[in-house]
Structure 1
Amino acid sequence: MHFRAASADPAGPADPAGPAGPSGPDRAAAYPADGPVAALGADRVREEFAAHRLRPEWTWFAEDEDGEPLARALWWGRADSERPVALDCLQVRAGVADPAALAAGLLEAGHAAFGTVPGYHLSLPRDWRADPALAAAVAWRREAARTAGLTRETERLRYEWTPAAGTAAPTGRLVFREGTDEEFLEVFARLSRGSLDLNTRSELATMTEEEFARADFAFYLDCPGERAWWRLAHLPDGTLAGMAIPSATPYHRNVGYLGVVPEQRGRGLIDEVLAEITRFHAAAGAERITATTDTVNLPMAAAFDRAGYEVTEIRLVLEAPPVA
């Protein structure tokens, strides 16, 4: 058994059935996108390579002794990423006796080459547990991910807004304004207190509020959205209530980050903050706004429901635990 990145494939004829030819993207696109877990098809693979979000050195295959590909792993990153951000697609051919073991070896080979352990994001239908074939396909992927060090698991709801849902008019309950970096750092720290977000709670077990705030600030600053979009939220008397960070992905507008400070929670103000983000993106002509929240974060999920966002999928996120 060999584990090989597409960039390391030997030159040869571009035969999808045999060892890879000179084009890593060609080989990645030729791998069949089959099985119950949604996988990237040939056209999408080529689009992502063209956009530099998939790369030969982030595309790995498990091969038998004859060079026949038995598994494919596609790690994804933004066009300017130095290292992959997440594992986007993991497949093992039907008939492999132990798909979890093969997939784990493939992931470990990739991690060793990258010098990092990117998370694995599986996009699933909301009722995926009711489909035996799909549940079994998820099970061996989870086992492989755990073996490769991705032992922290979070299930998230992926929401989507379209113009048909409309936008809520401002009520005057909150006033939004721009803020300095220092002000946003302070609010990031305050919002982490008592958060229901599982990643926030996990990270705070190994870092201070201030460290976490700086990490979150840097993350959203690095997203495709613009820093000029960010807003602080205040009550009409000037009391800080929270913040709204409209953001974006490489594909569409995104809710980003929003929250209400602990002392103002329970008053329905999260609806006002979400409405501000939705209006902002809608005014810019967004045809789609996406958002995610943990399945256990019931108040946030309810706010998305009230705002007309609809659940489009479950996102199962498998990650390495934070390092103490």
Structure 2
Amino acid sequence: MLFRSTVEADLDRLLRCVVDEPVSSAHPGRLLDHLRSGDYRHDRVWIAEQDGEILARAVWWGFPGGDRPLALDCVYVHPSVRDRVGLAADLLRHAHDAYGARPDYHLFLAPGWRDDEEAAAAVAWRQEAAARAGLTDALERHRYEWTPGAPVPAPSRRLVFRPEDDDEAFVRAFMRVAEGSLDDHTRRAAAVMGAEAQAREDVSDYRSMPGDRSMWRLAYTEDGDLVGVALPSANGGGPVVGYLGVVPEHRGHGYVDDLLGEITRRHAERGAERIVADTDTGNVPMARAFERAGYRAFAVRLVISPSAS
């Protein structure tokens, strides 16, 4: 068995690797679109090949021009393979060794997927393969969307939102918001790399996204005390909430509604037809804020990561 990253000459065969299970995948249209945009690259598409036939394929996503893959998007194994878990795990391990990292695996699923026997089975073998390759921790996130049928929030009457050209101001704000955060990614990253490094990486990642940097805002009381961050952004699919958070000393006053309202309003003023957002299932205050703002839960993102320990 040959494990390798792909080249352009492999494209026709890659397009024949079609996932027919109810899980998200790099289907042919998505694969082509993302290869064109740079979100996928051939050095981030790996295959297990035998006698010229692709028996397994794994596809990672990353920022165009970025120096590392950020998330595993798709795992495919040919129906003829008896031990699909073993082959998929071997493929992921080879890619991880080449990357020097184990990016998280993101699976996008319908709400209630555990009650769908076919979807649950599709997740189960992929999760086992990921675990054998060192991705052992699973986190479920609710996905929300705002559409123009929902109300557009009025400007906040108690906070002042200011633009800031200096990224260092956002690094400092991200560090303060991270203290006691309910967001799993923030807690894990800060524990591994430290609060400042984690904040810098997050700011850098948002800078790399296609959202408009000029829309970023810091939120203050009328007395000039920092309350939090409201960062509208976008990805390849369109507008997203991006990042918002309240500093510890101002939590418990409902400011999350003001921050989310500011982000939603700015996107809406630019004609957004859809705004998407995620939050951990355990982050109940954020989920309730989305619901109050007219966002609708429409999907689940299952994130499978290396152990934080």
Interval of TM-score (by shorter of Structure 1 and Structure 2): over 0.9
2:135 paired residue among 115, 139, 150: 150
CA distance in 2, matches of 1:184, 1:176: 13
CA distance in 2, matches of 1:74, 1:113: 14
Query: CA contact under 8 A between 2:63 and 2:209: conserved in structure 1?
Result: no
Query: CA contact under 8 A between 2:152 and 2:264: conserved in structure 1?
Result: yes
2:111 matches 1:126: yes
CA distance in 1, matches of 2:47, 2:26: 15
Residues 142 and 274 of structure 1, relative CA distance in 2, 3 Å threshold: same
2:80 matches 1:117: no
Aligned residues: 308
CA distance in 1, matches of 2:113, 2:149: 27
Q: Once the two structures are superposed, what CA deviation does each residue of 1:95-127 show, in whole Å capped at 9, x if it has no partner? A: 532221111001111222333322211001111
Give 1:231's aligned amino acid. R
CA distance in 2, matches of 1:266, 1:26: 55
Per the alignment, residue 77 of structure 1 pairs with: 62
Report the more deviating stretch, 236-245 or 268-277: 236-245
2:81 matches 1:59: no
**What is the DSSP-based 3-state SS (H/G/I as helix, E as strand, rest coil) of the residue aligned with 2:191?**
coil
Query: CA contact under 8 A between 1:157 and 1:294: conserved in structure 2?
Result: yes
Task: Give % identity.
Answer: 50
User: What do you get for the CA RMSD once the two structures are aligned?
Assistant: 1.9
**What is the DSSP-based 3-state SS (H/G/I as helix, E as strand, rest coil) of the residue aligned with 1:74?**
strand
Which of these two proteins has the greater Rg computed from alpha carbons?
Answer: 1
Q: Which aligned pairs between 1:244-323 and structure 2 lie closer than 5 A?
A: 244-321=230-307
Unmatched segments (≥5 aa) in structure 2: none
CA distance in 2, matches of 1:146, 1:206: 20
Query: CA contact under 8 A between 2:139 and 2:304: conserved in structure 1?
Result: yes
**What is the DSSP-based 3-state SS (H/G/I as helix, E as strand, rest coil) of the residue aligned with 1:48?**
helix
Query: CA contact under 8 A between 2:18 and 2:76: conserved in structure 1?
Result: no
Deviation above 4 Å: which 4+ runs of structure 1? none
Unmatched segments (≥5 aa) in structure 1: 8-21
Per the alignment, residue 17 of structure 1 pairs with: none
Report the more deviating stretch, 176-185 or 250-259: 176-185
Give 1:139's aligned amino acid. A
Query: CA contact under 8 A between 2:13 and 2:54: conserved in structure 1?
Result: no
Per the alignment, residue 169 of structure 2 pairs with: 183
Q: Once the two structures are superposed, what CA deviation does each residue of 1:130-187 show, in whole Å capped at 9, x if it has no partner? A: 1122112211111111111222322111111111113111241211112343332222
CA distance in 2, matches of 1:281, 1:304: 15
CA distance in 1, matches of 2:282, 2:185: 12
2:211 matches 1:225: yes
CA distance in 2, matches of 1:215, 1:55: 22
- Displacement of 1:50: 2.0
2:104 matches 1:139: no
